[in-house]
Chains A and B, each alone.
Chain A
């Protein structure tokens, strides 16, 4: 186990370095450069821009800039935002809770519903339910998230008036209920695609497990059908799903980008788009590293969980 963890940490570190190099390079390849924002301002003279460039150290070779940035990162200094001069960590920290809230509730919805659909689809294979679930998953996967968002707003906000069309809370009313009320639509919309993916994988994993010999053994010793499914089938089917969760949950961030824009949700997705528009490189890099870290940590947790749950790995 120690050896496994050690090698995984090493891999993760290398991966982070590679991601940061690619991100940094690509970002600086963008036309306009980091100061294009200032260049549009009529009050700025070329001399002003040159001064700012000098000040921010942007006139030095790219690899020097990268090394300096990386050295700062290692010491916990993620740089300062071009936009308002506040530390990148503080900017990100302001937006993280909203995104985590959205991702968390979406994950709960997606895993709960997806798992249920998957198990039921597998235990009632080729039933009406299974066909509806299969077609439903295909529909959810092929229609873009923003469309669901817009339709949701049209139906539930404009026509029915049941749910708010956007934002995280009503100004002046920050009760838990108010938050929940705002949370319903974005998290369901964000969860849709993941319900589809999760239910398909769960169905496959359940079918794999259900045809195993030990399931026959359990039935042969007179275990009730309910326990056969819940304990023996689902227990074993969840193993590959843990790994899937490690990959799927971070990918919610991508979905959050769209969802947050549609529902004017003040999270990291919105921050990312705004910062790109503003050529706020330090914040963009910060967000990139944050999401890379999140992905790697989620995968690591998934792998460790599998190792802990599966005695064949835990005790080997």
Chain B
């Protein structure tokens, strides 16, 4: 067996995919989910399959696992797993390979574990399914596995239900489960995409360590070139069901051949060393539009009477200012209070204490009846472009319903909506169409236009580009930037992605456990962070070390 992590001199192939074609049910947007896909996964290597949504990368994995959704089938090609052809294999024989020879971990650790079974039972089930060991030996092995993936207190973890675990811990459980039968191949389908950046770094390290220790072959599916730079030995780039490029990771990252790969790499957001040029001095010196002072919000649940009360301090003593035409980035991991902050500023939630001075007036204590007339001035752009637009309303209705409710005439609203559709780069014919006719990026443009219909003074964008592919992400960021320059709107940009924040923000507030732990210009935050937490965050960004586009200032973080 191959011991080391570096590619063996004469790599032998653990998994070979040749001219694989999987047909889609009739009536879908294209004929085949994947077409003529070929690649090799060498023993003891990590192969990254990268592509945007709809590229067929997950479908390739499902095909290898023999878990294609109903209505789809392998119409041509071959998959050789450890020398055995699995296309056309009997269902029962395929089942006996799953989990034993090849196992898989998934993107969303929150939904990938059965909520009604303990962690231990779910890991044991994998072994029991293949008749491995006795109940006693399976149990011992499960605790070993929980130890191996670095979970605290494995003996207790064994009895825990998934809901008690954090996202990162659940993903460790998934990995333990996948390793339980010592498979030769591990397929990881975006295993870190749903995780916080620091957790992502830990899980990537764990996967790489285990892969090296066991000489396993890993097929790692991702959309993030940063992740590729972190762990890949070789890369396969997919677009619309086809493999467009494959090769050694270093080669593909540094000197991509295919235009699609080049576009994809160019679209990856990077930490920017230089700050965004300040707008005209007039606006820089202008009176802040929004002044937040000592804002506090605490969530309470349970009952004080029965001593089951749980108190979560969501936002603690937060103060900052935003000037017209400027963008404040609020970054932090899940649970840091950044989204709560957004909801407080928009008064979707009541403030416990503190002031929100908007244009000189404290809006924190206003009752809804008084605040309502001010709502148009503060608008939100939401994360999920699929869930945030009413599927039963046309784009025109979505854009005009709000302004009409605030007294704009129908014809005027229509006229402005048309103009805005133009501004956000959509055809005016979009007016009469329904959201489902648009792609994610186009819908997010509708979301931006909807917010702009009110001519707001402040835009709150809560993870507005997080659900989008990188190339679309770049377009939306560009759009927001252009709109800000044209309209002078102030923006609060809430995101977990530091690279994105560095692209668009004038100033950044780093939140941790409800508090702002650091505040400053992006160049300072990312290249000379003061707070320990900020330093951890920046260090966890995948791929930046390998990145020659990031110009790290010389006095980097070696100090202190």
A214 and B303 CA atoms in complex are apart in Å by 32
Given known pairs A223-B125, A224-B129, the reply for A213 and B108 (CB within 8 Å) is: yes
Q: Does B114 contact A (CB under 8 A)?
A: yes
Q: Does B39 contact A (CB under 8 A)?
A: no
Contact between A221 and B125, CB atoms less than 8 A apart: yes
Contact between B103 and A220, CB atoms less than 8 A apart: yes
Contact between B116 and A236, CB atoms less than 8 A apart: yes
Q: Does A170 contact B (CB under 8 A)?
A: no
Contact of B114 among A218, A224, A316 (CB under 8 A): A218
Interface string of B137-181 (1 = CB under 8 A from A): 000000000000000000000000101100000000010011010
Interface string of B98-112 (1 = CB under 8 A from A): 111001101010011
Q: Does A310 contact B (CB under 8 A)?
A: yes
Contact of B112 among A6, A216, A223, A312 (CB under 8 A): A216
Contact between A232 and B114, CB atoms less than 8 A apart: yes
Contact between B113 and A219, CB atoms less than 8 A apart: no
Instruction: List residues of chain A with CB within 8 A of the CB of B180.
Output: 221
Given known pairs A3-B303, A214-B112, the reply for A222 and B96 (CB within 8 Å) is: yes
Instruction: List residues of chain A with CB within 8 A of the CB of B113.
Output: 214, 217
Q: How far is the CB of B194 from chain A (nearest CB, A)?
A: 11
Q: Does B65 contact A (CB under 8 A)?
A: yes
Contact of A235 among B116, B163, B178 (CB under 8 A): B116
Contact between A219 and B163, CB atoms less than 8 A apart: no
Q: Does A26 contact B (CB under 8 A)?
A: no
In the complex formed, the residue of B with least CB distance to A217 is B112
Contact between B129 and A222, CB atoms less than 8 A apart: yes
A224 and B93 CA atoms in complex are apart in Å by 11
For chain A, what secondary structure do more than half of its interface residues adopt (helix, strand, loop), or is it mixed?
helix
Contact between B116 and A216, CB atoms less than 8 A apart: no
Q: Does A212 contact B (CB under 8 A)?
A: yes
Contact between B115 and A236, CB atoms less than 8 A apart: yes
A282 and B112 CA atoms in complex are apart in Å by 56
Contact of A312 among B99, B129, B163 (CB under 8 A): B163
In the complex formed, the residue of B with least CB distance to A235 is B116
Contact between B164 and A315, CB atoms less than 8 A apart: yes
Contact of B98 among A6, A214, A222 (CB under 8 A): A222
Q: Does A230 contact B (CB under 8 A)?
A: no
Given known pairs A312-B115, A312-B161, the reply for A217 and B129 (CB within 8 Å) is: no
A315 and B108 CA atoms in complex are apart in Å by 23
Q: How far is the CB of A203 from chain B (nearest CB, A)?
A: 16
Interface size on B, residues (CB 8 A): 35
Contact of B95 among A2, A3, A224, A310 (CB under 8 A): A224
A217 and B116 CA atoms in complex are apart in Å by 14
Q: Does B136 contact A (CB under 8 A)?
A: no
Q: Does A39 contact B (CB under 8 A)?
A: no
Interface size on A, residues (CB 8 A): 27
Contact between A220 and B164, CB atoms less than 8 A apart: no
Q: How far is the CB of B270 from chain A (nearest CB, A)?
A: 32
Given known pairs A310-B116, A311-B163, the reply for A218 and B125 (CB within 8 Å) is: yes
Contact between A216 and B129, CB atoms less than 8 A apart: no
A101 and B104 CA atoms in complex are apart in Å by 51
Contact between A3 and B129, CB atoms less than 8 A apart: no
Contact between A222 and B306, CB atoms less than 8 A apart: no
A3 and B125 CA atoms in complex are apart in Å by 35
Interface string of B116-127 (1 = CB under 8 A from A): 100000000110
Instruction: List residues of chain A with CB within 8 A of the CB of B108.
Output: 213
Q: Does A63 contact B (CB under 8 A)?
A: no
A236 and B115 CA atoms in complex are apart in Å by 8
A239 and B177 CA atoms in complex are apart in Å by 25
Contact between B67 and A214, CB atoms less than 8 A apart: no
Contact between B115 and A214, CB atoms less than 8 A apart: yes
Contact between B98 and A219, CB atoms less than 8 A apart: yes
Interface string of A233-246 (1 = CB under 8 A from B): 00110010000000
A214 and B122 CA atoms in complex are apart in Å by 10
Instruction: List residues of chain B with CB within 8 A of the CB of A6.
Output: 306
In the complex formed, the residue of A with least CB distance to B114 is A214
A212 and B117 CA atoms in complex are apart in Å by 15
Given known pairs A235-B116, A236-B115, A315-B161, the reply for A217 and B106 (CB within 8 Å) is: yes
Given known pairs A213-B106, A311-B161, A312-B161, the reply for A222 and B111 (CB within 8 Å) is: no
Q: Does A94 contact B (CB under 8 A)?
A: no
Q: Restricting to B66-117, which residues have a CB under 8 Å from any CB of A?
A: 67, 91, 95-100, 103-104, 106, 108, 111-116
A213 and B163 CA atoms in complex are apart in Å by 15
Q: How far is the CB of B158 from chain A (nearest CB, A)?
A: 14
Instruction: List residues of chain A with CB within 8 A of the CB of B259.
Output: none
Instruction: List residues of chain B with CB within 8 A of the CB of A221.
Output: 98-99, 103, 125-126, 129, 177-178, 180
Instruction: List residues of chain B with CB within 8 A of the CB of A310.
Output: 115-116
Q: How far is the CB of A236 from chain B (nearest CB, A)?
A: 6
Instruction: List residues of chain B with CB within 8 A of the CB of A213.
Output: 106, 108, 111-112
Instruction: List residues of chain B with CB within 8 A of the CB of A218.
Output: 114, 125
Q: Does B285 contact A (CB under 8 A)?
A: no
A216 and B114 CA atoms in complex are apart in Å by 10
Q: How far is the CB of B256 from chain A (nearest CB, A)?
A: 32
Q: How far is the CB of B86 from chain A (nearest CB, A)?
A: 13
Contact of A220 among B99, B114, B130 (CB under 8 A): B99
A216 and B98 CA atoms in complex are apart in Å by 12
A213 and B180 CA atoms in complex are apart in Å by 19
10 sample A-B contacts, Cβ–Cβ < 8 Å, listed by A number: A3-B303, A3-B308, A212-B111, A213-B106, A219-B98, A222-B99, A223-B129, A225-B91, A311-B161, A312-B161
Interfacial residues, chain A to chain B (CB-CB below 8 A): 2-3, 6, 212-214, 216-225, 227, 232, 235-236, 239, 309-312, 315-316
* 17 other A-B residue contacts (CB within 8 Å) besides A214-B112, A221-B177: A3-B305, A6-B306, A214-B111, A214-B114, A216-B67, A217-B106, A217-B174, A218-B114, A222-B99, A222-B126, A224-B129, A232-B114, A235-B114, A236-B116, A310-B115, A311-B115, A311-B161
Top 3 closest A-B pairs, CB basis? A222-B99, A221-B99, A221-B126
